[in-house]
Structure 1
């Protein structure tokens, strides 16, 4: 089973320590998130220097706060220091992050993603000078770096999923119920076929929120709080969850908006937990992850330990879901 892991700090271990441990446990790739705090790029560089074989990716860097040229030079640098193990994961992020953190307008996110990915692809192809005249972005005269890099995109809505199909090597969905992934992928596949691309060559690599505990209900409660946070604080996530659970997602979001976090988490049903993540005792959770890969179009599940998890649950989750269990 090809499994990735979002590297997060664990007790006294920082992200790089966890990445080293993930390599020892047989994870196929470690992915680095970035919102606010330490730089995901610096962290990825440290991990590249401290590991030997494990794949390395960003999940995700937003397409607003770094120019396409900076993203391309970042990819080239990380390809060099990792000996070709790097994949560039991009996404539009959210209005909250782009406007309130970065002080930028969250304008035309799908078009911004499309043009950014096209330019990054051109700037890393090694094919000579790059010229691009888009609706939002323009570049000219500078040479392309010889650093071909797989590009993944966290397209959530239908238009953003079409960007994946047109331009990307992989798709990182989050909070689309697993039972709806194949249906959602049809937008990716249709866009790929329009460009004479083979949809089967696009890696489906969803976030898989995961909590493993000796007390299965405690583990499921971690996922309830995780789902409630995303459904309550992000309209795109509410719509994604609502593709299967429309009424339930509305109840969660309403409770969250009213400020009742406990009620919001309680409104996340057992069916939602089962279709949006992996939770339970070690053997139970591992079986869920294996079944997810066997019964859906998931190629590369990316295990995400939610923030509400205790250090004990986080550690057990990383160990229990590793391809080569300790």
Structure 2
């Protein structure tokens, strides 16, 4: 099976050295997120220079803070320096990040429309025929040549409207906090919409798989509880995704988080939610759980994702125990 890794940003750990180690452990793809503190594209350039065959990608950069032209130039350059190993993973991020960090309007006109136009125009700039002209609600550009680069574009979509963007425009889907038992139904909507749009393509499914390995299964579960609580508490889209299967649980987690009670928020993430939203346990338990997710029919490249609340020992243990070399 293909196993990818979302590289964790760990203090006192060189991310490029970690990437080199991950390639040695047999990971097929290495992805890097971006919120605040480190530019994923700069870091991935260094990783590309120090690795040989492993795929690299952004998971994710948001569609607000870089224009389609900048995204296209970035993707084409990273693809070139990595000898064709780069995937561009984008998403809308969250209202808090876009408004409070980037100082932009989340509803201008709306995140899904921005995702659609950004991805559509970025693809035109990358691989369109001739010179690019585009007129949309957000972007209006004229008379620049495409870059002649064939770079896959993945989108981190949750709701139906955003999944239609995947269906119509993208090469891959990066779901996060969609309960794993619901992935096939959620992806079936994408395939139906792609067929309606006249696309005959294979769309990769690369879910985030929040994972924690420990000799104490309860400690591992607590790491995943904290991860779920953070995302459900900070993003309505994540809350809605979890609520599709756990309406009461998602509401309890979000309510506690938003009143400032982080401990109660994590405690409201039940064992059933942990199992449906992540991988947690001893090495043997975690590998078995991860394999079950990898075996879901629609999943093509599951992404080991280390929660940011994990300590460095858990980070290292999880990366090693879930690496292909450990199977």
- What interval of TM-score do these two structures reach, taking the shorter chain for normalisation? over 0.9
Are 2:111 and 1:109 equivalent residues in the alignment? yes
SS in 1 for 2:131: coil
| TM-score, structure 1 normalization | 0.97
Aligned match of 1:3:
3
- In structure 1, stretches of 5+ residues that fail to align are none
CA offsets 1:14-39 (integer angstroms, 9 cap, x no match)? 21111111100000000010011111
Aligned match of 1:204:
205
1:1-326 equivalent positions in 2, closer than 5 A: 1-10=1-10, 12-106=12-106, 107=108, 108-125=110-127, 127-198=129-200, 201-325=202-326
User: Aligned equivalents of 1:126 and 1:113: distance in 2?
Assistant: 18
User: Aligned equivalents of 2:207 and 2:325: distance in 1?
Assistant: 20
SS in 2 for 1:119: helix
Deviation of the 1:8 alpha carbon: 1.9
Deviation of the 1:12 alpha carbon: 3.5
User: Aligned equivalents of 1:9 and 1:100: distance in 2?
Assistant: 21
4+ runs deviating over 6 angstroms: none
User: Aligned equivalents of 1:295 and 1:138: distance in 2?
Assistant: 41
The answer as to whether partners of 1:87 and 1:152 remain within 8 angstroms in 2 is yes
- In structure 2, stretches of 5+ residues that fail to align are none
SS in 1 for 2:132: coil
Deviation of the 1:258 alpha carbon: 2.0
Deviation of the 1:56 alpha carbon: 0.3
The answer as to whether partners of 1:126 and 1:147 remain within 8 angstroms in 2 is no
The answer as to whether partners of 1:8 and 1:14 remain within 8 angstroms in 2 is no
Q: Identify which range, 202-211 or 247-256, moves more after superposition.
A: 247-256
CA offsets 1:239-278 (integer angstroms, 9 cap, x no match)? 1000000011111111112221111111110000000000
Deviation of the 1:11 alpha carbon: 5.8
User: Aligned equivalents of 1:9 and 1:242: distance in 2?
Assistant: 28
Deviation of the 1:161 alpha carbon: 0.4
The answer as to whether partners of 2:95 and 2:235 remain within 8 angstroms in 1 is no
SS in 2 for 1:142: strand
Deviation of the 1:234 alpha carbon: 1.2
CA offsets 1:27-82 (integer angstroms, 9 cap, x no match)? 00000100111111101101111101000000011111110000000011001100
Deviation of the 1:285 alpha carbon: 0.2
User: Aligned equivalents of 2:38 and 2:265: distance in 1?
Assistant: 30
CA offsets 1:75-113 (integer angstroms, 9 cap, x no match)? 110011000000000111111111111111112111111
Root mean square deviation, CA, Å: 1.2
CA offsets 1:177-200 (integer angstroms, 9 cap, x no match)? 00111111122112210122236x
| TM-score, structure 2 normalization | 0.97
SS in 2 for 1:36: coil
